[in-house]
Amino acid sequence: MPLRSYLDGRVFADVADGPGPLIVALHGWGRDRHDFRDALSGYPHIRADLPGFGLSPPPPRAWGAADYATCLAAALDECGLAEPAVLVGHSFGGRVAVCLAAARPDLVRGLVLCGVPLLRDPGRGRPSLGYRLARSARRAHLLSDRRFEAVRASRASADYNAAAGVMREVLVTVVNESYDAQLRAITCPVALLWGARDRAVPAAMADRASALLAGPVTAEVIGGAGHDVHLQEPARLTSMISEVLAAGRVSP
């Protein structure tokens, strides 16, 4: 299966040609297209670097997941797909996949989602008192911007601290999104693969998302696996892709 690189000006990807439906793989935050190399080796596929990651340039502004989906849809339209694709998304990439499946069902045959933060945590409350006091002190010019950023960095995630510029703004945007409406709009087959030890997105998320999906759903939680279940259990991911392909087969 020949491998070539594809660039439409915004999305760089490795593309493997071959017969049959295409698999489109979307990586998590801070990762790139190489994550799915082993799991997709037997399929025609596109492994994309989402804008701002790998070799793809960052977006022009603070995009949300729906903006990423619009960008990806344009790239897939340029490819001229012979038939709808199966989207495989890990974490951040799964956010984009869900938005694309809801907005452009003509492009999507099925979904395989791994460790995706699809719904906001109902227990998520206000920022800590210390952070709110620091924010108020900055507004009152009692705390410098430099000191305030140090306070924020001490309480922020590793992803936030590692991001900069527009990509930090993108991260802030997407972590505050919830995809209830998109999940309700999806009717294609969906497979959910989670790690029982996923601390970033606990496996209970799969149950919450399943309850909103209208189409056929399968879910599996792998004991011993964590947030990177797609890397820890590539063979199981490959099997789930095959199952979604079969479930989403279009009758002639």
Phi, psi of 157 (to 5 degrees): -75, 165
156 or 32, higher pLDDT? 32
| pLDDT bracket for residue 249 (50, 70, 90) | low
Fold for 3-120+177-247, please state it: Rossmann fold (3.40.50)
Tokens of 229: 């279940």
CB half-sphere exposure, 75, CA atoms < 13 A: 26
Q: In this predicted structure, what is the pLDDT of residue 8? A: 63
Report domain extents, the chain.
Answer: 3-120+177-247, 129-164
| pLDDT bracket for residue 146 (50, 70, 90) | confident
Residue type, 215: G
| pLDDT bracket for residue 251 (50, 70, 90) | very low
pLDDT(192) > 90: yes
* For helices 92-103 and 65-79, angle between their N-to-C axes, nearest 10 degrees: 70
For the chain, the average pLDDT equals 88
Output the pTM of the full model.
0.87
pLDDT(137) > 80: no
pLDDT tens figures, 163-176? 889 999 999 999 99
What is the enclosing helix (H) or strand (E) of 15?
strand 12-16
pLDDT tens figures, 47-90? 999 999 999 999 999 999 999 999 999 989 888 888 999 999 99
pLDDT(25) > 80: yes
Residue type, 50: L
* DSSP E strand boundaries for 65-207: 85-90, 108-114, 190-195
CA distance 102 to 98: 6
What is the enclosing helix (H) or strand (E) of 23?
strand 23-26
CA distance 107 to 97: 11
pLDDT(94) > 80: yes
Q: In the 8-state DSSP scheme, what is residue 142?
A: S
* Beta-carbon contacts of residue 203 (< 8 Å; ≥ 6 apart): 194, 195, 196, 221
* Beta-carbon contacts of residue 104 (< 8 Å; ≥ 6 apart): 69, 73
Percentage of the chain beyond pLDDT 70 is 86
| pLDDT bracket for residue 156 (50, 70, 90) | low
